[in-house]
Amino acid sequence: MNKTELIDSIAAKAGVTKAVAASTLDAALGSITEALVAGDAVAILGFGNFKVSERAARTGKNPATGEPLEIAAAKVAKFTPGKALKDAVNK
């Protein structure tokens, strides 16, 4: 499912226009992004948790030449599914 299909689904289930569904989805994703940029975690009960994790610098390998290269440290967004989501997927 891509973003357009998700907007169509939200509009149908909520009984709103696609424009309202799109702006609502954009607002929700924007709010999650802003919280993660600020270093906060986002917990959606029954769905899951979003958090920022730090990945340490490490030495990697160039797959084409086999030469070692340095991979810089980075912050990454992580999602951990909640129990209700896990149960729904495994049904």
- pLDDT attached to residue 89: 95
- Average predicted confidence (pLDDT) for the chain: 96
Distances from the Cα of 21 to the Cα of 2, 49, 91, angstroms: 14, 22, 28
pLDDT band per the 50, 70, 90 thresholds, residue 19: very high
**In this predicted model, what pLDDT tens digit does every residue of 23-54 receive, in sequence order?**
999 999 999 999 999 999 999 999 999 999 99
Distance, CA of 31 to CA of 84 (rounded, Å): 22
- pLDDT attached to residue 63: 93
Distance, CA of 27 to CA of 35 (rounded, Å): 12
- Look up the pTM and report it: 0.81
When pLDDT is averaged across residues 59-87 and rounded to a whole number, the result is 95
Cβ neighbours of residue 75 closer than 8 Å, sequence gap 6 or more: 52, 53, 54, 55
